[in-house]
Every structure is written in structure tokens, then in C-alpha cells.
Structure 1
């Protein structure tokens, strides 16, 4: 008896592995052609091929998802781990690993709460890197010569900015047009900020002194491009001071934290950028008037003080007037007193004669004492006058030195103001010269266009203009009816008379050839 026996027959179809995988694939795709799946993004993988692989999960299941390279660049929202999204695509299988997956072509956040959570997470991550620190923010230039504006050309924002700048302080504006919402917003805005920073100093295109990134108001989704990491990093890396004017006053984006100054509206950004020209001119005139008044005051006050001090010193002659008056008084009394003394001494001498030698010694002693007093009086008066003169001279020298210092400071201030005015005049002359050159170049271009479109250039290429008595002849029939015509060439005219063209001679009919056969 054989140990092996034939197995009973079966009518079930035998599938190959590929046939079965294909049948499952078709069934799954037919049943779930295009679906929308809500879930949280788990693991995200971005290989060098450009495709994006990620997981969609909830509290019980995980669904593999993939976005191909061509579609990944068009996604409005890049998948990030932890985001709650609604993914739209089609279900298919991957036979190589016996699993099914979702081919995603559209991703959108699952509600405003998910966007706000992702925005807060990104803000905290960028703040931890120090991109929002106040210490790294630069002050705005007080009077920028060139302002770069990053915005859309089709909106009202750029018109508001230009109108406000024209009203306050007309200055040169360079506009870098970008998309302010949608898929291309973030890369275009980041490229515009870096492009302005890469302009060389003194190049054909002037490098701006100040940047304004502007957009009108909108929803969180509309403003999302200004929350992208690329835009925030470009704003933080900008070497040119930057004003963020994105949205209305209540709208806040991440570029507001990275910029050097945030404006509530685009119009307010223009007001921050430049001062009012009329107010600046008024302040300059007021400062100049104050400087003039202060200089005059510094000159007049020491002069008045010198006059006051000179009045307090008195006249030199007044110092001796009292002594001279007393001397006159005593001189008037001296003569009678001398006469009385002489009479008295004469009586005493007559009563008791005095030796002549003793009288002579007494007279000599008194005369010597009188001469000593006279010399001391003259020396004391001279010394007093010299002291007063020295004090007056020293005070005059101090006043002259103070006046010289004040005048030197005034001259320096006036020289600085003159230099500033000269700089402004030079800049104005340069602007006028540039405007004249631009108008001249435009006129030359129009003249070249006129020459290129004129018929004179056409004549040089071999064409001819036919002139008749009544003007230009445009048809052959009209030409045949004229007695003569002028043919205008590029180098002159030639007069011709039309003639009827001779009929072509009839060719002789060839002789008939007869066959010999």
C-alpha cells in the first residue's frame, strides 16, 4: 500500500502573488477613490529624492502617507510633527511591502486652534535661538536716502506708502514685488529681504538705508506666509534696519518679533520711516534762530558786565578829587596860619632872640620832613593807581578770553550748520542732475525710435517711394496714367516716364516629329 495518496481536487482559482496584490489594489482604489482624513502627523521623513513620507495617526490607528516631489512643492502647508491636519488624497497599496498608504496632494490645518498651537510652538523655538531679543535690534535711520519696500504691486498698500512718503518727506523708493499670500509668499519675501541686503554699496542700484515689509490685513491663513521660518530668519539676519507692517493693528505675525520695529499699519510704517519735511525745516529754522540769539546773548552779556564794572571802578580823576579839595581847603587856611605863626615867632624872637644856627637846624629838619611826606604821598597815589589799573587790565583780559571762547563755539556751530546745508544742497543738485540725465536718455530713446520707424531707414534696405504731381503713387494703374514720376531712393530722387511694357515674343512652335515606325 502506498503511503502517498492524491489530495482531493479543488475548484478554487489559484492566484499568483502579483495577481492577488493587483486585485487588492483595484478593490481598495475603487472603494476609496479620493478621501479626506483627519489626524495628527507623526513621524516625518524627507529623503534626498524630494518626496515626503509621514504618518497620520489618532489614538488607535496609524496610516502611512506620502507626498510625491512634484506635489510637495505645491503644498500650502508643510507637514510638521505634532500638527493636527486634514489630508486629502487617494488610497492605494504598495505591493512591495504588502501595505496600503494615502497619496496626499493637499494638507490643511484642522481648525484655527491647530494653527495657533503650531504658531506658538514655532515662536518659542525661534525665541529660544535669540532671534527676538531686543538687544540685537537696530535703531532706524533718522533720514534715509533710499527706502526698500517688499510688498505686492497690485494692492492698495504700496499706494498708501508712496502717498504718505510723498506728503511727509519725498525720498527714493525701491519696490521688490512679491506675493503676499499663498504658496509663493514666504520664499519670495525671504528672497526679497536677502536681495536688498546683497546689493553693493555704490552699485548701479542704490542699497536701501531702510526696509519696509508690508501687507494689508487678513485672516490667519492669509498672513501665514509671514509666520514661516524662512521669512523670520531672513528678517533677523537683515543688516539693513527693517520695519514690519503686516496686517492691521490687531494682527500679529512672527516677522513682527524679528524686525527692528513693528508698525500697526503700512501707513504708520511710512510715518516711522521719514520725518515731516515742513516740521524739519521749521525745527532747523528755529534752531538757527536760537543759535543766533544765544550767540548774540553771549556777546552782549560780557560787554554789559564790562560796562557795569567800569562804572563801579569810577574815573581815575575822581580818586584824587577829595584829596585835591582838602588840599585847596587847607591851602586857603595855611596862608593866614603861616602869617600868624610868623608874627608869633617874630614876637618871641624879638623878646628872646634865637640863635641863628638853631633856627637853621629847625628849618632844615621841618623841610626834610615835609619833603618825605610829599614823596610818600606821591608814591602812595601812584601805587594805588597802578593796582587799580592792573585789576582793570586783568579783568579785561578775562573778558576777552571768555568772549573769544564764546565766539569760537559760535563759529563752530555755524560752520556745522553751513556744512549740513551744503550737504543738502549738494544732494539736491545731484538729484536734479540725475533727473536731467534720465529725461535726456528718454528723449534719445524716443528719437532713436522715431528714426527706426521712419521711412528713410526703409529706403536704405532697397525700397523706393514713387512721387507724382499729387503726392505718393501707390498703385501701378495710377502710375501708368502719369506723364512722369519721381522715384525717391535713400540717396536722392530720379525722374522717370512710364512706358508700356512690350509684349513677350511668341516662341516658334517646334516642328512635329513623326514616328518612323
Structure 2
């Protein structure tokens, strides 16, 4: 740089031989000088303006009481920052100093941002805490009660640490439950996004699905420094825990460690083992409590029945005896039974007296007189009724004749007359056809009857034939007749039994004109 700048006393003037440089040459020389003189540096200061461009690059200022240093973190470097700069935070920025000639500015390409000591971290933590508290994320009214006995427990922690072993051991000792572990980084720059993603992922599971949704979540980590636990102080983790629909237990660090997730969670546990104890009850204690409740219930039921029995006995003593209760009704029944025959006789006498009084006026002569009077009135009315009925019948016949005459003049009556004529002719034809059919069927029946009689064997017997039976069976051969003990001949006018012919005797030849049915 000294080569490019002359002494003020040798300033250029008319006819001077000083070299001339372009703007780009000057900007490049300044950039080389800055990068060569400083290289990689660490700068401490307070964060001022912070701006994140749409491209993903991060622009912010580091300042002290007199000067401001512009800083830039490129998009690919932002994910490597352990802490994102926030306005008002005191940080230590590591990177390379460079110049930007297009605007005659120099800035620091920050590759790492660290809080400047625990005091700065605590100040930033307090600022976030106040912001979230103002939004109502710490309110006790929004905290949900934990299920008494969850079926599935989701654990967000490192799968290789001692924390998950302690939690599983405590659950196995107290009340074994199904546990789903979502492995995450519990410190470093990947801690906060992985923990937030795990909480959101558990909430997206379907209840009762192939991978069941947990009934309660445990976010756990062992103890460490504030830097180690800083991932659980990130705003993304606190908001994910607050938005969780599943009740959440935070168990981050030891009992003295406090992070933002502890304030927004539904329940804080001092240690991961204590979180497991909070999540489930002791099975043996529940069994003992159940046995105790059963014993108390049995005892209370026994005492209740005993008191009821005593009360019943006391009331039974106060009741009068059955004999004393029935003595009065029995006496009244006996008294009524004694009075019943006399009452029946007196009632019968009174009814007889009333019947005699009522029947006294009813004498045969009086009844006959009344019957004669009624008969005379009936005769008179019947004599008047005959002519009246005749007149009424004559009037009705006249009316019927008038109506018939009027009806005969109508087309309907003429149509009815024609139909009646056709019906009469049809009836005559049907009768003629019926007589012919009956005659033909009678002739056929007579012929069938003659055929049937001709087939009857008794008719054949009348023509001079006979039926020969041997020992009750019909005989059709000579050999069968010789072996039969007795023979029976059936003629048209009766049957004749004869003895069997002698064996070996020659049979007498039949007359030439004698026939046989068989």
C-alpha cells in the first residue's frame, strides 16, 4: 500500500510523473491488504441491525460504543451457526475480514457466532422468556392434565445415552408400558430443530393406528452446562412444546437446571427418572390400594347389612304379635258366623212377605179379563190391518206398473229384452248340446258296462264252465289236481267239493264238447 501512496509533500501537480490507478485496482489492493493483514479474526460486540434476505443470506451489524462493523453470513453458513444473532445480544463473531468495492465498504464474513459469556446467554434467555410469557405460553390455564395410566409413552431423547435406560428401567419397575423413542441430538446446533420435529411428529401420528399415537410425551436430557442445554432454550422448541396436543413432561438437566421448555410444558420433572415416575403410577401400590378398597367395600357392606339387620330386629320387636293382630278379626268373624243363619231366615221371610203382597192382586179372573181385552183389541186391529194392507199393496202395484211401463219405453229396456232373447236361445242350445253329450256318455257307459260284464269270470261260468280249486288254490294243471288233498268245483249256481283222485289212476277223458276256462 505504501507503494501506491506518495508523501503529501510530493503531491501531484502539473507535469508530475505519479502513476495513475483505476478504481478497481484501488478496491482490489484494499481488499488484499485487509485480508492479508487480518486473515481470520474474532470480534466481540453487541448485535445491532439484523436482516435476513430472501436468498437466505444473513446481514447484521456488530457494534460498540463508537463504531459499527458490518457482518455477513452466507446461506450455506447459516445452518452451521450455534446461535443466531439477535439484536441487543453481546456476541463473539469469528470469520474473515474482506472488502466490498462496489460500495466502498468492508465487512466481516462471519462463520461462527458465540454468545459473549454466560451473562449474554442469560440476558438473551430472559428476553425470550419475557416474550413467550407475554404471549401467554406460560399460563397455568393452558396446561393439560396428564393421563393417569397411559397406554403408550413417547420419549424424545438420545437413544445412546443413560437417560433412556433410566426411563425404561423406572417404567419397568413401576408399571410396564409401551414406549416409543424418537432419537434426537440433545446438544449442538441440530438439537433444537430435531426436538421440535420430534414433538410435531408424535402429534401427527394417528390414534389407534399401526404406529399408535402416544398418550404422553417425555422430553429428556441429562445435566450439563448452559451451553449444552441451550438447544432446549430455543424458541422453536418452546413453541413446539406449547403447540403439542399430547400432554408433555420436560425432564431436561438436573433439578437446578431450568430451560424454556420447562415453562411451556404441562409438567416439569427434576430428572428423567422422575419423569418416568410422574408418567405412570406404581403397579404394586395400585394393587395394594385396590385390595384395600375392596376390603373397605366388603367391610362397609357387612356393616351396612348388620345395621339393617339390627334395625329390622328392632322394628320387629315393636310390632304386635300375630295372635293379637288376628284376635279381633277372628272374634268378628265368629260373631258374624253366628248371626248369619238368623239373618238368612229373616231375609227370606221379608222377601216372601213382599212376594205375597205383590202377588195378591194377580188373580186368575183378573188375568183372564186382561187377556180378553187384549185379544179383542188385537182382533179389531187385525181386521183393520187386512184392508189397509190390501190398499197399500194395490197402490204399490199401480206404482210398479207405471214404473214398468216407463221403463219399457226406454232403450235400455229394449236392449235388455234383446239380451234376454239371446240368452234364452243360448240356453236352449246349451240344453240341446247337454242332452246330446249326456246321451253319448250314457251310451258309452252302457257299452263299457257290457264289456266289463263280459270279462267277469262268473258270466263265463254261466256258459257252462267251472273253476277248479285244490286246497283253496286255483288248479290249472292235471299234476296239481292229482297232488291236492281235496278239490272244489265252482259252478255258476254254487260250489262242489270232491275227494282227490287216486294216484296212478287214469283220468276219464272229457267229452268232446266240454271246454275249460284254464
In which range does the TM-score fall when normalised by the shorter chain?
Answer: 0.5 to 0.7
CA distance in 1, matches of 2:288, 2:231: 42
CA distance in 1, matches of 2:69, 2:253: 38
CA distance in 2, matches of 1:24, 1:319: 129
Offset of 1:291 from its aligned partner?
1.9
CA distance in 2, matches of 1:59, 1:229: 29
- SS of 1:96's equivalent in the other structure is helix
CA distance in 1, matches of 2:325, 2:164: 83
Q: Which residue of 2 aligns with 1:456?
A: none
Q: Which residue of 2 aligns with 1:232?
A: 238
Tell me, yes or no, if structure 1 residue 247 matches structure 2 residue 222.
no
Offset of 1:299 from its aligned partner?
2.7
Q: Which residue of 1 aligns with 2:316?
A: 310
Q: Which residue of 2 aligns with 1:127?
A: 133
Offset of 1:8 from its aligned partner?
4.0
Offset of 1:35 from its aligned partner?
1.1
Cα deviation digits, residues 71-119 of structure 1 (max 9, x gap): 1110001010000001111111001100110110011111111111110
Offset of 1:295 from its aligned partner?
2.5
Cα deviation digits, residues 253-306 of structure 1 (max 9, x gap): 000000000000000000000011111111112212222222233333222211
Offset of 1:311 from its aligned partner?
1.8
Q: Which residue of 2 aligns with 1:370?
A: none
The count of aligned residue pairs is 322
Tell me, yes or no, if structure 1 residue 166 matches structure 2 residue 156.
no
Which of 174, 188, 191 aligns to 1:185? It is 191
Tell me, yes or no, if structure 1 residue 13 matches structure 2 residue 19.
yes
CA distance in 1, matches of 2:210, 2:277: 28
Q: Which residue of 2 aligns with 1:223?
A: 229
Offset of 1:312 from its aligned partner?
3.0
CA distance in 2, matches of 1:99, 1:312: 113
CA distance in 1, matches of 2:26, 2:324: 137
Offset of 1:318 from its aligned partner?
6.5
CA distance in 2, matches of 1:159, 1:304: 59
Offset of 1:319 from its aligned partner?
8.2
Q: Which residue of 2 aligns with 1:460?
A: none
CA distance in 1, matches of 2:235, 2:278: 26
Offset of 1:309 from its aligned partner?
1.7
Q: Which residue of 1 aligns with 2:97?
A: 91
Unpaired runs of 5+ residues, structure 1, are 1-6, 324-373, 380-517
Structure 1 pair 41/320, CA: closer, same or farther in 2 (3 Å)? closer
Q: Which residue of 2 aligns with 1:195?
A: 201
Which of 283, 289, 292 aligns to 2:295? It is 289
Tell me, yes or no, if structure 1 residue 272 matches structure 2 residue 278.
yes
Unpaired runs of 5+ residues, structure 2, are 1-12, 337-518
CA distance in 2, matches of 1:101, 1:283: 70
- SS of 1:175's equivalent in the other structure is strand
Give the TM-score, by structure 1 length: 0.60
CA distance in 2, matches of 1:303, 1:29: 103
Structure 1 pair 320/178, CA: closer, same or farther in 2 (3 Å)? closer
Cα deviation digits, residues 429-487 of structure 1 (max 9, x gap): xxxxxxxxxxxxxxxxxxxxxxxxxxxxxxxxxxxxxxxxxxxxxxxxxxxxxxxxxxx
Query: In terms of mean alpha carbon deviation, does 7-16 or 24-33 score higher?
Result: 7-16
Structure 1 pair 100/304, CA: closer, same or farther in 2 (3 Å)? same
Offset of 1:320 from its aligned partner?
11
**Counterparts of 1:406-425 in structure 2 under 5 Å?**
none
CA distance in 1, matches of 2:163, 2:26: 60
Which of 295, 301, 314 aligns to 2:307? It is 301
**Counterparts of 1:352-367 in structure 2 under 5 Å?**
none
Which of 106, 109, 115 aligns to 1:103? It is 109
CA distance in 2, matches of 1:222, 1:317: 94
Offset of 1:56 from its aligned partner?
0.6
Structure 1 pair 301/73, CA: closer, same or farther in 2 (3 Å)? same
CA distance in 2, matches of 1:46, 1:265: 38
Structure 1 pair 66/320, CA: closer, same or farther in 2 (3 Å)? closer
Q: Which residue of 1 aligns with 2:61?
A: 55
Tell me, yes or no, if structure 1 residue 27 matches structure 2 residue 52.
no
Which of 60, 69, 74 aligns to 2:80? It is 74
Tell me, yes or no, if structure 1 residue 138 matches structure 2 residue 137.
no
RMSD: 2.1
Offset of 1:28 from its aligned partner?
1.0
Cα deviation digits, residues 308-344 of structure 1 (max 9, x gap): 22123353447899x9xxxxxxxxxxxxxxxxxxxxx
Offset of 1:202 from its aligned partner?
2.0
Cα deviation digits, residues 120-168 of structure 1 (max 9, x gap): 0100000111111000000000000000000001110000000000000
Point out the structure with max Rg over C-alpha. 2
Give the TM-score, by structure 2 length: 0.60
Cα deviation digits, residues 48-87 of structure 1 (max 9, x gap): 1111000111110011110111111100010100000011
Q: Which residue of 1 aligns with 2:214?
A: 208
CA distance in 2, matches of 1:167, 1:126: 37
CA distance in 1, matches of 2:91, 2:263: 26
Q: Which residue of 1 aligns with 2:155?
A: 149
Q: Which residue of 2 aligns with 1:443?
A: none
